[in-house]
Structure 1
């Protein structure tokens, strides 16, 4: 209970749970340990369905759109489930048996019936949401795990291992890069997702830095907040931007500041 802190329900997982969950409407979509993805009623904790796929943590947040639940796991696969039943509609992998190249810690981005993912294999891939068909797949930049979507949905963002943020068109039938901006912090492999607030994209790195980038690819600022990797961003109901770091620090940014 948000007001009192009283526990409303609990679920016993079969293995440790390290993944992020997604709240959509009255439901929580979240892995319940290795080899599991579940749909859970927020009010009661009732499990509507649990999809068991073997082994491998679904560490990143799932995505829900068009009656589909999409998530990646550390078993080399990206899965697409029926939102109502939990039935597997299709799965995709990059063809490599190497589990370290899995889309296990990604946030799938769904725009216009397409899924965009970036995994540790350093490829960017666009898939058809309905069928899982590859629309395009490229390895032109050293992209890795971190993604976001522009406010108008026209671009998907990806962070490179050189500390750059790039924008790629979401409606093109081939890889179409719109712009690239360098935050100036060099090598990076932190999977913290990109957050967009009022058209401004925020990204963070492994050494405590945060950068702010305009929708047309201008670097507003890049500042050092902490000494460790960022976990995630969150925009609250008052439009404040929150960011947490592994060392235990939490920062809150008020109105977007351009400097």
Structure 2
């Protein structure tokens, strides 16, 4: 060994961990909020202009694409998007946005099939890049990073640092939403999880404007949308990584790039041993100490459906495609059945049989006793609809434009209706002679329960897909069907004719409805703080009461349910509440976590089952 080699080795040993090699210089681009649409050619033109300019730009190593790449999350548009992106002369890496996760006829499975996954990981010149989904998945709520993705990030960064985060190898994280309160409900889980590592930057979009933010101290960049601006020019981001910094530029078509932010690669921006600057407030639980969680199970997977219950068992589907049975008494896991892809729709159980749909394009019938498969029905596309069972017949809609009635004992399809233009996620209403449900095509359908023949369709003059009465679970009373929709209206529809009886925007409700046990009242959440109650008896809208529950801004599609005169509801930020059905008096509130609570299932006036997007299943109980 000569003297020069000796001193090189000595110098390497003396350098701090994570600083043993100077950062290589490189550049990459960011495209975000493309919003390609089947009804508007401009976003596609904007993207193609950006792709052409990117291809003509020297020294770009790759492109990050950070969500809202389509307007409606449909497969056809994503396939078109891929043909455009494949024109790039450099590699690209893509993550989902809320338009791909909230409105997705495939239950967010088409994205992975087309682009090879719903998250990405790669190392480039000494920096680890991780991109992941920030939701919300299929339910209107704040963004959410599911437990399995948080674990994946930590495992990836551990491997990058050879099991020792103190090595401090630099990481850049890409997502659609900013990791902050009001955007992602569990931002603190994410920042606490990544804090021990050397995260240099979060990169995202969503707000269609340039923003330089901090997520519990960690730098965060939001880039402008690729859509043409007021001057008619598309644009994107350019990042220049040097030996000691990251420089951020905006690049408009036909103009030189403009630098607007820069970050050090050596300076410490946050305490890697610290915690989030703020956590959710659970003080409401001290106000109502009689409300307790009898049991809670953390499943470790996202949950987007409500629980189903029969006798002494609770059944829950999850993001990993598992349908799991728990004991009602204490939450002990009894068995789990693995389907091929995620479960979005709420299952149903009757006569010892559990029925549910899966994004793997099948409807399953399982034994409630041991989870063994009794039958399955194949669909042409993912099955995202919730199940209603009545008199041994299961009713369920899918994304193949088909609604089915299935014998739960044999799996025989009794009838099908194929006249649906949009996909179905709702739980159908089954009455004495009708099956009624909405779809993401601005339409509410009423079918003959016996043979599936169409009786009527209601559109209410809705013109935008996003206004469809598709997430609400309809209810019926006194000759009327009641729904709410994203246009912020409550509507009463004649159950025999499909004609509008009344429609009101008075209370600014969205996609929730609930019926009292005596069928005289319907309930709904407003978009700010309150529950409202309307009469089902009149042919004009009559508000009976409005109660300020104090839950803040709210738009989650979790329905209201009444048992023993108590109305129960829940919110996108983990709150469950109970009101006196006839008066609206607030009886209690209890905060489970900070993510969406799906429609709760009351067992009686003082016990209810719940599920949360963050993976919890539990039984809540109030002392009498």
Q: Deviations over 1:69-114 (max 9, x none)?
A: 1000001100000000100010011212200000111111111221
Distance 1:34 1:213, change over 3 A: farther
> Which of 122, 137, 160 is the matching residue for 2:488?
122
Displacement of 1:238 after TM fit?
11
Tell me the secondary structure at the aligned position of residue 370 of structure 2: coil
TM-score scaled by length of structure 1? 0.95
Q: Whole-Å Cα distance in 1 between the matches of residues 598 and 378 of structure 2? A: 25
Q: Which residue of 2 aligns with 1:53?
A: 419
Q: When the two structures are aligned, how many residues end up with a matched partner?
A: 257
Contact (CA 8 Å) 2:392, 2:408: kept in 1 or not?
A: yes
Displacement of 1:210 after TM fit?
0.8
Q: Whole-Å Cα distance in 2 between the matches of residues 132 and 257 of structure 1? A: 44
Q: Which residue of 1 aligns with 2:390?
A: 24
Q: Which residue of 2 aligns with 1:81?
A: 447
Q: Whole-Å Cα distance in 2 between the matches of residues 96 and 167 of structure 1? A: 24
> Which of 243, 249, 252 is the matching residue for 2:616?
249
More helix by proportion, 1 or 2?
2
TM-score scaled by length of structure 2? 0.40
Displacement of 1:230 after TM fit?
1.2
Q: Which residue of 2 aligns with 1:4?
A: 370
Q: Whole-Å Cα distance in 1 between the matches of residues 389 and 602 of structure 2? A: 14
Contact (CA 8 Å) 2:570, 2:576: kept in 1 or not?
A: yes
Q: Whole-Å Cα distance in 2 between the matches of residues 10 and 19 of structure 1? A: 15
1:132 aligns with 2:498: yes
Q: Deviations over 1:126-165 (max 9, x none)?
A: 0111111111111111101111011211101111111311
Q: Whole-Å Cα distance in 2 between the matches of residues 212 and 43 of structure 1? A: 37
Q: Which residue of 2 aligns with 1:144?
A: 510
Contact (CA 8 Å) 2:568, 2:602: kept in 1 or not?
A: no
Structure 2, unmatched stretches of 5+, are 1-366
Distance 1:221 1:240, change over 3 A: closer
More strand by proportion, 1 or 2?
1
Q: Whole-Å Cα distance in 2 between the matches of residues 55 and 155 of structure 1? A: 32
Q: Whole-Å Cα distance in 1 between the matches of residues 605 and 589 of structure 2? A: 23
> Which of 162, 171, 176 is the matching residue for 2:537?
171
Contact (CA 8 Å) 2:420, 2:439: kept in 1 or not?
A: no
Q: Which residue of 2 aligns with 1:223?
A: 590
Contact (CA 8 Å) 1:59, 1:106: kept in 2 or not?
A: no
Contact (CA 8 Å) 1:183, 1:219: kept in 2 or not?
A: yes
Displacement of 1:229 after TM fit?
0.5
1:207 aligns with 2:561: no
Tell me the secondary structure at the aligned position of residue 232 of structure 1: coil
- Alpha-carbon RMSD: 1.6
Distance 1:10 1:238, change over 3 A: farther
Q: Whole-Å Cα distance in 2 between the matches of residues 33 and 8 of structure 1? A: 23
Displacement of 1:21 after TM fit?
1.0
Tell me the secondary structure at the aligned position of residue 422 of structure 2: coil
Distance 1:111 1:54, change over 3 A: closer
Contact (CA 8 Å) 2:379, 2:400: kept in 1 or not?
A: no
> Which of 421, 435, 440 is the matching residue for 1:69?
435
Distance 1:208 1:12, change over 3 A: same
Q: Which residue of 2 aligns with 1:90?
A: 456
Displacement of 1:60 after TM fit?
1.1
Distance 1:102 1:70, change over 3 A: same
Displacement of 1:56 after TM fit?
1.4
Displacement of 1:236 after TM fit?
4.6
Q: Which residue of 1 aligns with 2:523?
A: 157
Which stretch shifts more, 45-54 or 239-248? 239-248
Q: Whole-Å Cα distance in 2 between the matches of residues 205 and 15 of structure 1? A: 30
Distance 1:107 1:69, change over 3 A: same
Displacement of 1:228 after TM fit?
0.6
Displacement of 1:257 after TM fit?
4.6
Displacement of 1:225 after TM fit?
0.8
Which stretch shifts more, 62-71 or 235-244? 235-244
